[in-house]
Structure 1
Amino acid sequence: MNFHEKLERFTRLNSLRPRLKTNTVHISLNFDPSEKPDNDAMNRIAASYLDKIGFGDQPYLVYRHHDAAHPHIHLVTTNICSNGEPISMHNLARDKSEPARKEVEILYDLVKAGSKTQRAVELKPIILVAAQYGRAETKRAISNVVHGVISEYKFTTLAQFNAILKCFNVVADPGAPGSTMKQNAGLNYFITDEQGKKQGVPIKASIIYGSPTLKILQKKFLSDTERMTPLKPKVSAILNDVLRQPLLSKEVFVDRLNDHGIQAIFYSNKDSLVYGVTFVDHANKVVFTGSELGKAYSINALAARFDLGLSAGKTKVQESTRLNKANKEIPVLPLIPIIPGQQRDANPSGNSILDDLLLAKSFDVQVPGQLKRRKKRKRPAQ
């Protein structure tokens, strides 16, 4: 079948139930980083999985993507049968996908989710090589970092999100005031150099897996607020212990925090006058501004302690005090894909079925990890 014949088949089936809101199903199957299945193997796994969840007689498309550090495929199908009857989507992930995942793991001798042989995907800073970073490479690198940060860290503002991203040479730009992106709560992601300056081409959040726009992140901001509260005393206690040391300079302060897995980011203007400080705790996967932790850890208190020039106003220029690379590296973190929340209505933004079939931006059913076991969580991290 050619492209137009495939499109026509999906269009014809969907037209049998025009009032059905959910008529397109997106599924992501993810494999352990140690596994290197070829295209034929992935096709067989896809067919077996779809058959086991009740979609064996449905037409489907399989796309292999290379925008993450682990092998994965996207499946696109329809839940409308040839007789016009819909396949029930109720609790599909729990009742059918989970048993199917376990059977497929055994059938194809895959690394089992949660097993001791399961290997975490590593999240490291992007090493910028200008000549090598085109659009495809940039998207893949940024996607890996953004997914890992959203999945692993807790934050409640865009500024905090950017403080963490900066540790991995990425920044999220909400757009200029009055711009369409700003009004629509979108984001552009950039790779940055060691000074935090944007490099290369921007990547829109809408084309990254999970669509981590500001609108989506705002849901995470709310859910992380309560999760961060019990961690605040832990971070404050470490800062307090370090600040008790005599003859402490800013440089020694930063090094001592590094020993505890905390990265200090001092913000300064073009005249090198500081106006803010943020602490990224890589051990507890959380970020706080100095003032959030207490008056003793605010930029005013630290500027007085370390005899730093204090700015009266904020500018966009910032100084990131990075981990001491002589004996430390940015922490290596497991990367867990974003898990979408509830099923979305079909074509919520007015996209055509062609958009649904080709773009594969978000997924109604997802098997994270390497056909990974679903974990209990209070709220989806988006």
Structure 2
Amino acid sequence: MKAVGYHQAGDINRADALIDIHLPIPSPGPRDLLVRINAISVNPVDTKIRRTREPASDVAEVLGWDAVGIVEGIGEEVSGFAVGDRVFYAGAVNRPGSNAEYQLVDERIVGHAPENLSDAEAAALPLTAITAWELLFDRLGVAEGNGAGQSLLIVGAAGGVGSILVQLASRLTRLKVIATAARPESVEWVKTLGAKYVIDHSQPLLPQLEAQGLGPVTMVASLTHTAEHFDQYVECLAPQGKLALIDDFETLDIRKLKPKSISLHWEFMFTRSLHQTPDMHAQGLLLDRIAALADKDTLRTTLAEHFGVINAANLIKAHQLLESHKSRGKIVLEGFA
């Protein structure tokens, strides 16, 4: 099968940063689906792993943690899917990724793809939808339909996760949703997704919140550059507020949270699959819910860029755009030439 991978971790501008390769089609384990990939999207985790993870063997490392495709084979213990089903999922970070014609994925983290979305539109959703949903409802503990009198500041709202989080918070809760965006096109993007209030994260946050009568806030979802903004979060958050984050950084002095009793909440959507948690199947159920919301037009795709077919050249362009920190929404690729 055709695939895209790498043999040595490193910079995206190296000639062999990502290469077109051929691999054997894998065989499903007991709980696996063998999926023929139709479309994928690219996430910051792809770029991070490409820079830092060396392949475990002579076989190239295959990235990709968003896919839409058709089930071509099933393991002997699979019960929720059949050959021919159209599915979508984010996969597991410790298994070969979706930048290949065929991929194995555990049925427990797979959903039935939205019927009303194209393959490209659906491929934009899984990883960011799971991350945003778990952050909002599981980590921050907001209940659907609730949140009146509380506010959520979403920093980096125009990115992949933020584009879903804005929608979930504004449409499924009663929270006052405040998005941040630094460029005119990003401001317009988050407004179309449902953000009523938008401030600029390249400027001091609290004065902007106070100017609109929005601060201090109850919760902050920090989706990028947490270390850079951390002191401002402490300043902006109300006593007993909550801070949720998804990005990586070298150090963070969490002692600064103590005077206000601010709680810190990590979200990592691969936790369930990585540790085979008893509730691992919750991600499959969550994706089915996301599909239902998309089919009712409650949730819209965050596809912003279509980079063509799935090959090394196009994936390199996608990685370069993500690493420029100028992307909005999701980058999608579709089909194999």
TM-score by length of 1: 0.23
| Bigger Rg, structure 1 or 2 | 1
Higher helix share: 1
1 or 2, which has the higher strand percentage?
A: 2
Give the structure-2-normalised TM-score.
0.26
Structure with the bigger RCO (C-alpha within 8 Å, sep 6+) is 1
